[in-house]
A and B are shown apart, each in its own frame.
Chain A
Amino acid sequence: MSKISTSDFQKGMFIKFREEPYQIVEFKHVNPGKGSAFVRTKLKALKSDKVLEFTYKSGETVEEIPIFVKEMQYLYKDKEGFTFMNNKTYEQLNLPEIIVGNFKNYIKEGQIYQILIHNDLAVGMRYPKKVNLEVIEADDGARGNTVTGAKKVVVIETGAKVTVPLFIKKGDIIAIDPESGNYLERSGK
């Protein structure tokens, strides 16, 4: 195990917090009023999936938990969760829905994803910064809602709904931030 400082924090990193393994879901720098600097984190417990908040003094050290990344192909979803396969060894493993989180709306069968392994257990997956997905349903004549601006809701190939600008049409490929579910840009037709 290696010691890291708060300045090495990265989203998705796994660390030990009070002797238990956690994943850093979010971190922000805060400078309260008059004084020193801190790093506010949201930590997700690997065992219970509960999220807690903790604020570190800037420069505090924590133990990083070693995680291996395996590239695996997404096969299907069933009651157990999401099944992935290693295309070289044909080994399969299952990620429960709760760990896949919001990404379940943007995951596509047959695609390769990075699965995170700790002690031979799948503990998470690495979200790409953006995913490109096809729009399969769009009201091309929509005028949008004048209060919220010129926006409409379309359905993408995974079945999820995304709010997009009016010029997006059925058949367009759009880039989405899988973490927030926000539309980023039109990436192709």
Chain B
Amino acid sequence: MKIWRKLKENPEFLQKYFLREKIIKAIREYFYQEKFHEVETPLLVPALIPESYLNVFKTEFSTRSGRKTSLFLTTSPEASLKKLLAGGIGNCFEITKSFRNGETGSDLHNPEFTILEWYRINANYYDLMTDCERLFRFIYKTIDNKKHNLVYQNKKIDIYLPWERLTVDHALQKYAQISLKELIDDEDKPYLTADKIRHVARKKGYQTSITNTWEEIFNQFFLNEIEQYLGNDRPTIIYEYPSVLAALATLKKSNPLVSERFEIYIAGLELVDCYSELTDYSEQKKRFRNEFQLIKNKKITTRTIDNEFLDALQYGLPVCSGAALGIDRLVMLFTDSVSIDEVLLFPFSEMLDNKK
């Protein structure tokens, strides 16, 4: 159905959009109160952070004389924001669009989506956990100050209760009856081999092959045995992910098997990804090289590596923590919508269908 006709016949889509307006306004108010700077960063960039788990949109810039340069749509504003942090901007946030190729066929993904990122300097991941609790309560109060409980897909969530804080290791023990250490072959070189975790997976009845990585099998455990229990009566902060899933997070000093990273789940929706930012240039460079190799192996769209980002790290990124929040998913939560398409005025899949 044509977009305008759908809106005309189903005015609830507009109602949901009006709530989205209020949510975004509340987010801005929260950060203005916290004295954060709101910044704008480019969507079209000549180089990206290498992330082998993301597929990207590639395009081309041509000068009047016909000289061509590859350009990419950003998968998140992270690289640009960290350059600004190295440049001394201080606490900052941005609400912007991000782009990830191939992400369709899911209720939770649209190739173009709206993201909030914020960075607090001299802060660690625990400080950001508090930030998240305060931000959510602030938004909720602004859009609906009467009710205490949020209802999503018949689940009643009290966001005013202290949020559940659960490490990945505890979650594994609690719900999958196994500890993280029991899944690791060699603590000096963790996650390189996957013999133990593969053995456990087979015993649990999963299909595994020699090509499955540690991270793949772990994620399958997480999705089948843990995720369903997260955030069901109050939000859950699940933290300290295995360091193989650290991305741009710093490792925990007292236990380098895990990283200082957390995610927030509310009623089964994964809403926030946060970490104490990795400020170590040589470690970051090492991880980049790894990711770059993985991109090559996977035969996905190659991309130019953002060396300026590495320069910024080498020059010095202040100690800081940052978080990313999917705004479309947040609107899904507050409007009790099952699919991201219900909270977008122009869902990607419908635009493609209408083109036919």
Contact flags (1/0) for B136-162 with A, using CB distance below 8 Å?
000000000000000000000000000
Q: Which residue of chain A lies nearest to B221 when distances are taken between CB atoms in the complex?
A: A55
Contact A36 B216 (CB under 8 A): yes
- Interface bin, chain B: 35 or more
Stretch at the interface among A23-31, A65-73, A92-100, A132-140: A23-31
Across the two chains, which residue of chain A brings its CB closest to B10? A149
Docked-complex contact B223 and A40, CB < 8 angstroms: yes
Asked if B245 and A35 make an inter-chain contact with CB atoms under 8 angstroms apart, the answer reads yes
Interface check A21, CB cutoff 8 A: no
Task: Check B245–A150 contact: CB distance below 8 A.
Answer: no
Interchain CA distance A150-B216 in the complex, whole Å: 47
Q: Which of A32, A36, A57 contacts B270 (CB 8 A)?
A: A32
* Residues of chain B with a CB closer than 8 A to A88's CB: none
Known: A31-B109, A34-B247, A55-B220. A149 touches B12 (CB 8 A): yes
Cβ-closest chain B residue relative to A146: B11
Cβ A33 vs Cβ B245 within 8 A: yes
Provide 5 A-B residue pairs closer than 8 Å at the C-beta atoms, listed in order of the A residue. A28-B105, A31-B53, A32-B227, A34-B51, A38-B220
Return B139 CB to nearest CB of chain A, in Å: 22
Q: Given A28-B106, A54-B224: A36 and B263 within 8 A (CB)?
A: no
Question: Quick one: given A40-B223, A54-B224, are A165 and B9 in contact (CB under 8 Å)?
Answer: yes
Q: Which residue of B lies closest to A28 (CB)?
A: B106
Contact with A along B277-319 (1 / 0, CB 8 A): 0000000000000000000000000000000000000000000
Nearest-neighbour CB distance to chain B for A55, whole angstroms, equals 4
- A interface footprint on B7-28 (CB within 8 Å = 1, 0 otherwise): 0011110010000000000000
Chain A residues near B (Cβ < 8 Å): 18, 28-36, 38, 40, 53-57, 60-61, 148-150, 165, 184-185
Question: Which residue of chain A is the closest to B263 with respect to CB atoms?
Answer: A33
CB contact under 8 A between A31 and B207, given known A38-B219, A38-B223, A185-B1: no
- Give the contacts of B202-248 with A (CB-CB under 8 A): 205, 207, 212-213, 215-217, 219-220, 222-224, 227-228, 241, 245, 247
B132 at the interface (CB under 8 A from A): no
CB distance from B313 to the nearest CB of A (A): 19
Q: Indicate if the CB atoms of A35 and B216 lie closer than 8 Å.
A: yes
B103 within 8 A of A: yes
- How distant is the Cα of A35 from the Cα of B242 in the complex, in angstroms? 12
A60 touches B12 (CB 8 A): no
Q: How far is the CA of A60 from the CA of B212 in the complex (A)?
A: 10
Asked if B107 is an interface residue, CB under 8 A from chain A, the answer is yes
> Is B273 in the interface zone, CB < 8 Å from A?
yes
Those of B3-49 within 8 Å (CB) of chain A? 9-12, 15
* Bound complex: CA A31 to CA B113 (Å): 15
Knowing that A30-B108, A33-B245, A35-B219 are A-B contacts, what are 20 other residue pairs whose CB atoms are under 8 Å apart, sorted by A's residue number? Answer: A28-B106, A29-B103, A29-B104, A29-B105, A30-B106, A31-B103, A32-B222, A32-B223, A33-B263, A34-B247, A35-B53, A35-B245, A55-B223, A57-B216, A61-B207, A148-B12, A149-B15, A165-B9, A184-B1, A185-B1
Give the nearest-CB partner of B5 in chain A.
Answer: A185
CB pair B273 A33 closer than 8 Å:
yes
Report the minimal beta-carbon distance from B193 to chain A, rounded to whole angstroms. Answer: 17
- In the complex, what residue of chain A is closest to B100 when comparing beta carbons? A31
Are B219 and A18 neighbours in the complex by a CB distance under 8 Å? no
Indicate if the CB atoms of B270 and A33 lie closer than 8 Å.
Answer: yes
How many Å lie between the Cα of A113 and that of B276 in the bound state?
Answer: 58
Query: For the complex, what is the distance from the CA of A182 to the CA of B78, rounded to whole Å?
Result: 40
Closest to B212 in A: A57
- Residues on the B chain within 8 Å of A61, using CB: 207
Shortest CB–CB separation between residue A153 and chain B, in angstroms? 15
Residue of A nearest to B13 (CB): A149
Return the chain B residue nearest A185 by Cβ.
B1
Q: Please provide the 3 A-B residue pairs with the shortest distance between their CB atoms, ordered closest to farther.
A: A149-B11, A55-B223, A34-B247
Q: Distance in Å from the Cβ of B78 to the closest Cβ of chain A?
A: 12
Interface string of B110-134 (1 = CB under 8 A from A): 0000000000000000000000000
Chain A residues in 8 Å Cβ range of B223? 30, 32, 38, 40, 55
